[in-house]
Structure 1
Amino acid sequence: MTWFSRNREASSLRRWKPSGVTLFNLAMLAFAAAWLAPEWRDWPFPALTLDAPVPAVSSDRLSADFALCHRGDGTNCVVDGDTFWFAGVKYRIADIDTPETHSPRCAAEAALGARATERLAALLSAGPFSLESGERASDRYGRALRIVTRDGASIGETLVAEGLARQWGGHRDPWC
């Protein structure tokens, strides 16, 4: 028998017997794993608690200076109180209805529609905003239907609160 085979036989006969230091290390590792388990459960995203304040993060990234449209030039302009062009796309604000400025039924509708149009241009130009999808992507005229928000609040709701619009009820009601 050679030296190599004798050592191999001897090493295979040995059994692993943990020393006191090894058992202590294993016990500490198990304790640390059990103690840290709640923090590891949500890694890499920490758990949010109801007591902790959640920082407000604005996702508003769209912005432009809006003028009034003259026959649909299609470049960042407001058609009426609930319709505007932005970056070559025509949008209708999905959550409101405003008085008509094109073919109004009475002078009061025309005046209120003009005020709503001016106010929408001012609101859109006031800073970054977001366009959120609603129930449908577009209307029967091909306009993209979106809810316009700034800091999570609907710009349409601002027009409603100011008396320049009403919430969309699924159909147009007369303003006269």
Structure 2
Amino acid sequence: MAGPDFLSTHRRQRRYRKPIRPTRGVGAIRWITPVMALGFLGTLAALQFSPALADGAKADGLAVRAAPVMPGGRHAARFGFCHSGGGRDCVVDGDTFWFAGEKYRIADIDTPETHPARCAEEAALGKAATRRLQAWLNAGSFSLESAGRDGDRYGRKLRIVTRGGASVGDVLVGEGLARRWEGARRPWC
């Protein structure tokens, strides 16, 4: 006759003998297709927007478009909006844009935040400043002038952006979409 020790040992042993279920074929690896697609798209984006290739270098034998520079150090491009991360020739917000694979921060102004805005008023002003900067950049050639320091702590190049001697910062401040840079950000709400 088996005593209580036999039953408890027997139950303990059975607990660890679970049958192994076979995988269900395609359903078990359904996650791999989106992961592979995202990896492929990420690689394409990295190659397309690589700053190392922005100045006319060749990538796999293909010439890469360089930043157009006009006489007098002026630049021109067609700017869209940056929808994610970085890009080429796109506006991030009212004081930051990508041009020829480099990220620039307009050094003489501060505009409302858009990523994320802290209140509804800041969001509306930030969106208006972003649209205005895009329109200004697309209106003609511009110059990127040194602002004393080459870059900021986020890796953006600090420049004063001008056309015909007038700063885009002056335009945005005059329209109430920016304020003069005072060395630190202040809240817009």
TM-score range normalised by the length of the shorter chain: 0.5 to 0.7
Counterpart mapping for 1:2-151 below 5 A:
59=72, 61-151=74-164
Runs of at least 4 residues of structure 1 off by over 6 A? none
User: What's the % identity of the aligned pairs?
Assistant: 69
In structure 1, distance between residues paired with 2:162 and 2:73:
8
Q: Deviations over 1:94-132 (max 9, x none)?
A: 000000000111010001000000000000000000000
In structure 2, distance between residues paired with 1:165 and 1:175:
10
- Which amino acid in 1 is paired with 2:174? A
Unaligned ranges ≥5, structure 2: 1-70
- Which amino acid in 1 is paired with 2:118? R
CA RMSD of aligned residues (A): 1.1
**In the alignment, is residue 165 of structure 1 matched against residue 155 of structure 2?**
no
Give 3-state SS (helix, strand or coil) of 1:119's partner. helix
**In the alignment, is residue 156 of structure 1 matched against residue 169 of structure 2?**
yes
Q: Deviations over 1:108-158 (max 9, x none)?
A: 000100000000000000000000001211001000000000011101110
The count of corresponding residues between Structure 1 and Structure 2 is 119
In 2, are the aligned partners of 1:60 and 1:150 still within 8 Å (CA)? Answer: no
In 2, are the aligned partners of 1:82 and 1:93 still within 8 Å (CA)? Answer: yes
In 2, are the aligned partners of 1:60 and 1:128 still within 8 Å (CA)? Answer: no
In structure 1, distance between residues paired with 2:115 and 2:108:
20
In structure 2, distance between residues paired with 1:80 and 1:88:
16
In structure 2, distance between residues paired with 1:122 and 1:154:
14
In structure 1, distance between residues paired with 2:73 and 2:133:
17
Larger-gyration structure (1/2): 1
Unaligned ranges ≥5, structure 1: 1-57
In 1, are the aligned partners of 2:88 and 2:100 still within 8 Å (CA)? Answer: yes
- Which amino acid in 1 is paired with 2:102? V
TM-score, structure 1 length as denominator? 0.66
In structure 2, distance between residues paired with 1:134 and 1:77:
21
